[in-house]
Homo-oligomer: A and B are copies of this chain.
Amino acid sequence: MTLSAINSQGGYDGDMSDSQPARGRPSHIDPAAIADAAIALFQTHGYDAISMDRVAEEAGISRRSLFRYFPAKGDLVWHGSAPVEARLHGILAALPVGTLTYSVLTDAVVDSLHALDHREGVTRARLRLIAGHADLLAQGPTKLATFWTELEAFLTTRLGDAHRARVLALAIRTVVFDALLRWAAGEEHDFSATVSAALATLGALGTLSEC
């Protein structure tokens, strides 16, 4: 919920729930703008060729402050996934009790990803960077941890079987992420269709005997 906390840049303003009037020195730093600028640098010069010093210089802040907002270089690329996680939360909570079919579930997952589709250009750029870099690619499960753990928690309560929920969540995670990367690479054009097709294939894995 709290979809209003999602700003137009696709960033996330943090915990806006009980916002006390601001104390202390206010920040003049805009993380979303810095991330976007960094992405642009990465695209033109290559991820490895751009150092954190360079990003800080470009953003007009000190190197130390940059690391305060982005504890790891990869966070610059992963920044902006919070809206997707927030949306999934809302969608799962809205699912009626007792009517969980596989297709309903996968539709919910696909629906939550529409937050990505919104800023299609930037998202594609980020995903392409991720796909092109083994280090970044490997961070998918970690950096989107909220998304995946929320999905698994939901499935655990709905299925009653923690083991089965875990397998299902893991499989969905891997297949969805792979579909996103293929979409970003340009192999597929329709965002939702790509993810939906991948999940449909996953659901039919048990019927392998036909070969």
> Which residues does A use to contact B, with CB under 8 Å?
98, 100-102, 105, 134, 137-139, 141-142, 158-160, 163-164, 166-168, 170-171, 173-175, 178, 197-198, 201-209, 211
Contacts and interface: CB of A to CB of B under 8 A. Distances in A.
A173 B166 CA distance: 14
13 contacts: A100-B208, A101-B209, A102-B205, A102-B206, A105-B208, A134-B142, A159-B211, A163-B201, A167-B178, A170-B174, A170-B178, A204-B206, A206-B206
Contacts of A171: 170-171, 174-175, 202, 205
Given A170-B175, A202-B205, A203-B208, 18 more contacts: A102-B205, A102-B208, A105-B208, A138-B138, A159-B211, A160-B211, A163-B201, A167-B202, A167-B205, A168-B205, A170-B178, A171-B171, A171-B205, A173-B174, A174-B174, A205-B205, A205-B206, A206-B207
Chain A interface main SS type: helix
A102 B138 CA distance: 28
Contacts of A141: 138
A205 to B, nearest CB: 6
Contacts of A98: 211
Nearest to A177: B170
Contacts of A164: 201
Contacts of A134: 142
A129 B134 CA distance: 21
